Structure 1
């Protein structure tokens, strides 16, 4: 198949779960002989390393710069547009629209895939004019994700937050109703997106490169606990701050020798001064994840919101790293409490689970290996790619969809 994929970010380097999903699915599709073109609007340039990683996988990589958040056009549309803030940041991009039109003019596309409803605006008019069927992939239910973060906004901005949430719900409904096929990451998200869009959403779960983690052996005696995340994503910031404010003080009362290592892209600069305890280690982006996994006794996933399924959690499970998590952290993964992870949803419950896990290395090792086997059986990227191909096979030929009127901007 000839597949045109639009992305609001480069999938390399892999600094977030969304990027990991995109890179691995692109690699799987390329290995099966599909001809891929990526049209990307990115806040970062495609450097030599990015070209080297993506170049062998795609026929064409077209990268256009995304204007800055302070650009007058962005600020204007954020203030007056009926579209939500994230959509205005990624939308109203004339050069991106022109390149999209040029690619569609070539013809012969078997699949056009739009990644994220918030990235849809530059393509909407042309898709409608041509009655071009497209696949829309949502990694989260964006309107619910936004709602979960609004409580952290300053009180003076709460009215704006509620207004933006209303805009997000309206835009989400509009985009979902126009896609011929909707792809969700979990069954729960699929049910919600189906209700919003009025047509069934297909589940293509996140996966993990199980071979890459096959030789990782956590140090279950180390009493070092790991968390990994992209801190441009609000749920990860909430997870770390909740852990350090409420969970770890309870752990240290009973196990003062335990340590917490926090890794990932976009680490907030203020955390080191806010959380100066020498048992907390901030490392930022880690190029070789296996190194910090091998040095850790457990992975803590104190996620309270976010939707989708969590790539960081899948990777911990694939590495056999004993897992302590909220139910939200395990969403979409089919993991069982006491078998694949220790589960709790309060600070007390998570602290208890963490102390139990660190206190019994043999039981922790067995639980980690059970999780590794579960992921190997159900969440390899090859299985996700097969499900995505099944969605592609259901698409109607171009011209079969009715022309729809774009949402007013």
Structure 2
């Protein structure tokens, strides 16, 4: 198949769940022989390492710059546009719209667009060309704003409610035009199907299960691990909650426990805010397996967010027992006490952490159960097959698209 894939960020380095998903799906489709042109609007320039990672997967890589967040155009759009804030930040890009329109003069089997907030520059060209497209939503964006909006001052709350209303209206507008809307979890698919008025297929988040199968965690190490992209507010909230309310209880019972917190855009202020020698701070780590092999438990105290969490899937694939909330395992068919441990408040999470640290043998058994679940249900080959089934339905050709 000839695929035009449209993204609002470069999918390399894989510093977030969204980027990891894009890269591995692109790699899986390319390995199956599909010919992909990737059009990216990026806030960061294309460097040589990124080019070398992506170019072998693609027929063509086109990177268009996104204007600065504080540019006059963006500030005016956010203030005056009927679009929601995220759509304004990523929209009103004339050069991108023109390049996309030129690409639509060619023949494509599938046009794949990621995230409704990225859609505005493509809407007119798609309508003029009568080009069907597939839209993937990684979250229900209109319901996701809590972690971001909670950080706004009280006097901005009326604007927050207005923006949430605008996003709900924007979702309906974008999804009504898509040939297929794709979700990443069954729960999101149910919500999105109510918005769009028809069934919404699921393409799960995945893991390179064979790679993580080589990891051997240190179940007796007394070390917890959390990894996240801290441009994403739910991950910031998770760390702040853990440090302020959960870890003090853990350390009261187990003063020898340690925690590693790693990931892209780690705030420097955290080192001063929690100056405890038992906390190891890392920035972006390209290869997670080294940190996973030093850890006994993956601790993900997530209260907000959407979709399914790649960091949780990767930890399970590595054989780490996961201590988390219901939000942390949203979209996963796992059972508390078997594939993961956890709770919904700070006391329950601290108790779950202490259970796992107290019994390395039980922690290893839980890690093995999680690893088996991920290998069965969330390998990237599973996700790629689901996506290809969506493409075949859109094509309506009845022919196999992947041998």
| 8 Å Cα contact 2:137/2:182 also seen in 1 | yes
| 8 Å Cα contact 2:245/2:346 also seen in 1 | yes
- Please state if 1:372 is matched with 2:368: no
- Trace 1:287-298 onto structure 2 (pairs within 5 A): 287-298=286-297
How many residue pairs were aligned? Answer: 397
- Trace 1:157-172 onto structure 2 (pairs within 5 A): 157-172=156-171
| 8 Å Cα contact 2:217/2:292 also seen in 1 | yes
Partner of 1:407: none
Partner of 2:94: 94
Partner of 2:13: 13
Label 1:40 to 1:215 Cα distance change in 2 as closer, same or farther (>3 A): same
How much has 1:151 moved relative to structure 2?
2.0
Q: What is the SS of the residue equivalent to 1:387?
A: helix
CA distance in 2, matches of 1:230, 1:87: 21
| 8 Å Cα contact 1:115/1:136 also seen in 2 | yes
CA distance in 1, matches of 2:394, 2:316: 34
- Trace 1:105-144 onto structure 2 (pairs within 5 A): 105-106=105-106, 108-144=107-143
Partner of 1:224: 223
Cα deviation digits, residues 328-362 of structure 1 (max 9, x gap): 10011111111111121111111000000001000
Q: Structure 1, unaligned stretches of length 5 or more? A: 399-409
CA distance in 1, matches of 2:155, 2:15: 32
How much has 1:149 moved relative to structure 2?
2.9
CA distance in 1, matches of 2:194, 2:105: 34
Label 1:325 to 1:166 Cα distance change in 2 as closer, same or farther (>3 A): same
CA distance in 2, matches of 1:60, 1:211: 29
| 8 Å Cα contact 1:177/1:199 also seen in 2 | no
CA distance in 1, matches of 2:239, 2:197: 36
Partner of 1:249: 248
Q: What is the SS of the residue equivalent to 2:145?
A: helix
Q: What is the alpha-carbon root mean square deviation over aligned residues?
A: 1.1
| 8 Å Cα contact 1:176/1:182 also seen in 2 | yes
CA distance in 2, matches of 1:149, 1:177: 27
Partner of 1:208: 207
| 8 Å Cα contact 1:147/1:165 also seen in 2 | no
Q: What is the SS of the residue equivalent to 1:394?
A: helix
Label 1:136 to 1:251 Cα distance change in 2 as closer, same or farther (>3 A): same
CA distance in 2, matches of 1:170, 1:146: 15
| 8 Å Cα contact 1:183/1:202 also seen in 2 | yes
- Trace 1:69-80 onto structure 2 (pairs within 5 A): 69-80=69-80
- Trace 1:1-400 onto structure 2 (pairs within 5 A): 1-106=1-106, 108-396=107-395
CA distance in 2, matches of 1:151, 1:54: 36
Q: What is the SS of the residue equivalent to 2:201?
A: strand
CA distance in 2, matches of 1:61, 1:372: 35
Per the normalisation by structure 1, the TM-score is: 0.95
CA distance in 2, matches of 1:289, 1:147: 28
| 8 Å Cα contact 1:37/1:60 also seen in 2 | yes
121-130 or 148-157, larger mean C-alpha shift = 148-157
Q: What is the SS of the residue equivalent to 1:201?
A: coil
How much has 1:147 moved relative to structure 2?
3.8
Q: What is the SS of the residue equivalent to 1:329?
A: coil
CA distance in 2, matches of 1:23, 1:375: 19
How much has 1:177 moved relative to structure 2?
1.2
Q: Which runs of structure 1 show a deviation greater than 3 angstroms over 4 or more consecutive aligned residues?
A: none
Q: Structure 2, unaligned stretches of length 5 or more? A: 398-403
CA distance in 2, matches of 1:159, 1:263: 35
CA distance in 2, matches of 1:183, 1:22: 14
CA distance in 1, matches of 2:338, 2:322: 10
How much has 1:397 moved relative to structure 2?
7.0
Q: What is the SS of the residue equivalent to 1:299?
A: strand
CA distance in 1, matches of 2:148, 2:285: 26
Partner of 2:401: none
Cα deviation digits, residues 81-119 of structure 1 (max 9, x gap): 01011111100001101110111112x200001110000
CA distance in 2, matches of 1:285, 1:65: 23
How much has 1:391 moved relative to structure 2?
0.3
